[in-house]
Structure 1
Amino acid sequence: MTETWAPTRALSRSVLLTGLLMLLGVILGRVDLVLLAAPFAIGAAWHLSRRPRAMPEVAITADESHLVEGGEVAAGLTVSNTDLIPYDLVVVRTRTSRWLRLEHADRPFALTVPSDGWAAIDLPGEALRWGRQDVGPAAARAAACGGLLACRPVVTPARGVRVYPTTEPFRATEAMPAAAGLVGAHRSRRLGEGGELAGVRQFAPGDRLRRIDWRVSLRTRDLHVASTLSDRDAEVLLLLDVLGEVGLSGGVRGGSSVLDTTVRAAAAVAEHYLHRGDRVSLLEYGATARRLRAASGRRQYLTVLEWLLDVHADPVDERYEPALGAHHISTSALVVVLTPLLDPRAADMLAQLTQAGRYVVAVDTLPPDEAPPVRNQWTPLATRLWRIERENVLGRLREHGVPVVAWAGAGSLDQVLRDVARMAAAPRGR
């Protein structure tokens, strides 16, 4: 008997019964008791002569494709037997993340595995929430030799499944406050090659002949060319406030917590601007201050989705200030701050960025009926006073020039982007 296989209670009962009958037969001189014990001894000896040496192997399979919240998950378990002796029974059980609703994943499976063969268990289901969800770990225990031997539990580590957030409908038709790249889809205030007419001026060395305005030239008897505004790309910085989590997440079909709204809104805004050719970067306002460098294209969009999977509440002690200053942010970037505005440090950060000349838009991610987390339940009067105080904070931010808007999907930022672009185009005094 190998160390990996141990006797079961069935073997103990068989040995005890055989020994008892043999002992009574010898003491009482009864041959029938000896003959009655013979089948138990012969059966146990025959089964133990064909005992396996290899333990079962358990593998977890999971869908590696682009899985989004609400999508179907194709998971499963595979139990393999590399020995020449078949397993009489294999009991397999697995644990899964509560955000993966797999069929019958909460109960054990019993199956037989032939020699040098395998058996598979399908676990179809649905992904309920974004993040890195786990299928497993899974444990299996096999019985052989007619149930006389059982192996120790074989545990397989969990298999990760990446569930990307759903991209909520979003569009922003307003121009960017500052377009600083070389090429792109946004109209800038600089002259150059583009489709937006800036005016007509006299011909100068270096102007292209196709830019000549012949109507004005014939009328003035001097060559004139049409000047245009260059089309440039812009940088969008998504600043995620992760100082705390409020609300209970109900998955894709339930209620949304602050982090749910933050992650889904960030994915929607990033997809919109990356599709238009802009550069998008991400930054966390928390203890670790994770950052994703600005880039454009589909590869950046997939990187953004991968980066958002690791977003979690990252609080900072009240005595310390998260390491974020205006010098960390480009002067031409549009800063979209996704914050529930529960921590006073978030409001101070918004005011400081605005005073430093950054183009800031605050998106309120607090659910309408939520209150800050406290140990004891708040009375209705206390909750009402807290909401009044929060409205005062929002009013002070607007007085400092910080536009604040609640996230509402498509067109959420159109009005505030219009205001920010108007302020950016206004002349500034020295």
Structure 2
Amino acid sequence: MIGWRASPLISALAACTAVALALAVIAGRWQLILFAAPFLGILVGAARKPAEARAWASDIPDPLRCLESETVTFTASVESSDSAVVYRLRPVHIDGLQITVDEATAPNQVTMHVSAPRWGRYTIAVEVHTVSTSGLWVGAPIPLSVAELRVYPSADPQDVALPPAELPDRIGTHLTRHHGSGVEYADIREYVPGDSLRTVNWRVSARRGRLHVTDRLTDRAADLVVLIDAYPQPLGPATTATERSARGAAQLVQSVLQRGDRAGVVVLGSAPRWLSPDIGRHQFYRVLDAVLDAEEWHSQSTSALAPRAAMPPNSIVVAFSTLLNADFGLALTDLRRRGHPVLVVDVLDRLPFRVEPDPIVARWWRLERSRMYRNIAVTGVDVIAWSQDAGLNHAMHLIPQRQRIGRRR
């Protein structure tokens, strides 16, 4: 609702009327009273405030999407009820957004160019200035949301390797040690009933006098679930490190989807949410929307553990975490107990203290960190450190090359 107050026009009319009446009394000029009479009529008529009015955004666009540092242009329009007229719109300052405004073509419209240097969800609002139809009352400026902007983290185009694992029986691009339909040579064996005639190696069969077939290695697809630690972090380097979790997740999901694999996400924290693995370019933006806690693509959860519905059998789990929260560590252990290969990317590459600690404290912290790595490795969960100076694709080359056999279901 719009709150009304007297406009500068009423103040000017009241001042003119007061001066005219004062001069009429002092100088004895009755003509000045006639001069002030219309002003008095206007003031008497303006004593009654206009009817209640409201303003609303018209033609609200769908959520605007862009990558970091990209610019989005859109036009916001505001309408009002009959007793009010919009005469000016001003964008509301929002931390993290850079907004420039074009010259207005209409009083109730404004064209804005918006960009953001950091990923996140932003609500763009304008300050609405209104005046009554009589022009004697002005409305108090009200903020009005006109659009939602989703800024996605920029993903490094470098390809990222996945941890070794037992892949599901689905055609893909990952070469395995399983025999079946494929391209890579595996072995030659005798023909058994049921083998396809296409696999018969006629040269070997002619030389040995019995039918032989060529076995080949199968190419299978992978299911990846990115696990993100969204628990509250202590102020300082740990809070800054969590930003890298979203960037790493975006790069990993983009790399997996480009290879034709399926990717999903589970975000554990104050508002747990998840998205089942799927393929395609649209899945990339669904995953990013789930990270930003936007749109209806993802499902909500109340458990501190990863939902079973989000974890297909033998899916690979790559977690991004500072490893400072015990509940997140419990979720990692639970996933490994279910039979999933789990890899943790430690995004905290420095001491978590806001000020430089004593050297003894710093050494103690590093020793405790190393001991925690060993304890996690005992449960079957691998941990790699992701330095800020190195790319995720380089850090993933440090994955221990041992086969993780998932539990068959």
TM-score range for the pair, normalised by the shorter chain length? 0.7 to 0.9
Alignment identity in percent? Answer: 26
CA distance in 1, matches of 2:351, 2:126: 35
2:112 alignment counterpart? 123
CA distance in 1, matches of 2:38, 2:311: 84
Deviations 1:375-427 (A, max 9, x none): xx5733444433332232123334554322233322432341x6143x549xx
CA distance in 2, matches of 1:370, 1:346: 19
1:252 alignment counterpart? none
**Bigger shift: 62-71 or 213-222?**
62-71
CA distance in 1, matches of 2:245, 2:133: 53
Q: Is 1:380 matched up with 2:358?
A: yes
Distance 1:351 1:175, change over 3 A: closer
- Count of aligned positions: 390
Distance 1:12 1:346, change over 3 A: closer
2:297 alignment counterpart? none
CA contact (8 A) 1:360 1:402 kept: yes
2:392 alignment counterpart? 409
CA distance in 1, matches of 2:130, 2:84: 14
Distance 1:65 1:80, change over 3 A: closer
User: Structure 1 unaligned runs (5+)?
Assistant: 250-254, 312-319
1:5-404 equivalences under 5 Å are: 6-19=5-18, 21-22=20-21, 24-26=23-25, 29-31=28-30, 33-34=32-33, 37=36, 66-78=65-77, 90-103=87-100, 118=107, 120-142=109-131, 148-153=136-141, 155-173=143-161, 176-245=164-233, 257-310=240-293, 322-324=304-306, 329-351=311-333, 353-354=335-336, 357-366=339-348, 368-371=349-352, 379-381=357-359, 382-404=361-383
Superposed displacement of residue 340, structure 1: 0.7
Distance 1:4 1:322, change over 3 A: closer
The code of the aligned residue for 1:18 comes to T
Superposed displacement of residue 212, structure 1: 1.5
Superposed displacement of residue 265, structure 1: 0.9
Distance 1:4 1:346, change over 3 A: closer
TM-score of the superposition, structure 1-length normalised? 0.75
User: Structure 2 unaligned runs (5+)?
Assistant: 295-301
The code of the aligned residue for 1:208 comes to S
CA distance in 2, matches of 1:345, 1:191: 41
CA distance in 1, matches of 2:14, 2:268: 67
Superposed displacement of residue 59, structure 1: 5.2
Distance 1:380 1:289, change over 3 A: same
Q: CA RMSD in A?
A: 4.1
CA contact (8 A) 2:131 2:139 kept: yes
CA distance in 2, matches of 1:245, 1:203: 61
Superposed displacement of residue 132, structure 1: 1.6
Secondary structure of 1:30's counterpart equals coil
CA distance in 2, matches of 1:215, 1:10: 103
Superposed displacement of residue 162, structure 1: 1.5
Distance 1:256 1:287, change over 3 A: closer
Distance 1:7 1:263, change over 3 A: same
CA distance in 1, matches of 2:11, 2:262: 71
TM-score of the superposition, structure 2-length normalised? 0.78
Deviations 1:80-115 (A, max 9, x none): 6897x997x93433324322211369xxx9x7x9xx
CA contact (8 A) 1:144 1:150 kept: no
